[in-house]
Amino acid sequence: MKEKIYFWLKTNLGFSRKESKGFVLLVPVLLILGVSPDLIRFVKNQNSEKIYLNYLAKVDSLERKGLALAASPLPTFNPQDTVRKFQGQRVSERINRINFSEADSITLQIVPGIGPSTASRIVKYRENLGGFRSQSQLKEVYGLKEETIEAIWEYFEFDPSIFRKIQINQLDPQELAKHPYISFQEAKVLVAYRKQHGKFDSPSDLLQIKIFKQEWVDKIGPYLEF
């Protein structure tokens, strides 16, 4: 019988004797693999049917005793599966909304998208700046995404707060340049002009220095102490 099969494979498929032997050995394996899914499905269905029949028997037993079924005894059913989990009652509704100026690097992490490093950057920038006077200034914090900024105001109240100002008539270039809005080059020009023309009395005095734009003066003005 084998010889006939080998001969047929050689004649019709061009198999060598070695290839024919390998093919003959492979066929039963392929048949087993083909039948396995159906066999496994059949066994699982049989088990499921047994579980369901057992379930019905328990229900009948409970009903005969006058008890009402509150939850399914089936092991595959979890009553919690029918409970809808709300992402809120939102977290922002369960916490006290404090002023953003009071938020530290720990409390800021309540906002989705803000971890320890991002929270630290926000606090550090706020300290260097001297306080935020508008919500848009958060866009200046490196790596802070627009959607994260929007989420912040779901958890914190914005309160314009400048808690430290720059003593523009007293500080040297190195100190002035510590402020995010003043570069070292700009600080050198400010100090040189002050030495030559005297103290500044108001933000508009900075416009006497022709290289400075009104936009920059308006930006830095609220942080200056004269």
pLDDT at 79 over 70: no
Amino acid 30: pLDDT: 67
Pair 4, 20: CB distance under 8 Å: no
Amino acid 3: pLDDT: 73
pLDDT at 75 over 60: no
Residue 167 neighbours by CB distance under 10 Å: 12
Q: pTM for the whole thing?
A: 0.59
Confidence class of residue 12 from pLDDT cuts 50, 70 and 90?
low
Confidence class of residue 88 from pLDDT cuts 50, 70 and 90?
very low
Amino acid 82: pLDDT: 47
Average pLDDT over residues 50-54: 69
What are residue 99's phi and psi, to 5 degrees? -65, 140
pLDDT at 101 over 90: yes
Judge residue 111's burial from the number of C-beta atoms within 10 Å of its C-beta, 0-12 exposed, 13-18 middle, 19 or more buried.
Answer: buried
Q: Give me Rg for the CA atoms of the chain.
A: 39
- The CA–CA distances, whole Å, from 145 to 42, 47, 180 equal 53, 53, 19
Average pLDDT over residues 83-94: 62
More confident site: 111 or 30? 111
pLDDT at 215 over 50: yes
Please state, for a pLDDT cut of 90, what percent of the chain lies above it.
Answer: 58
Average pLDDT over residues 85-94: 65
Average pLDDT over residues 155-165: 96
More confident site: 206 or 88? 206
Q: Per-residue pLDDT tens for 165-209? A: 999 999 999 999 999 999 999 999 999 999 999 999 999 999 999
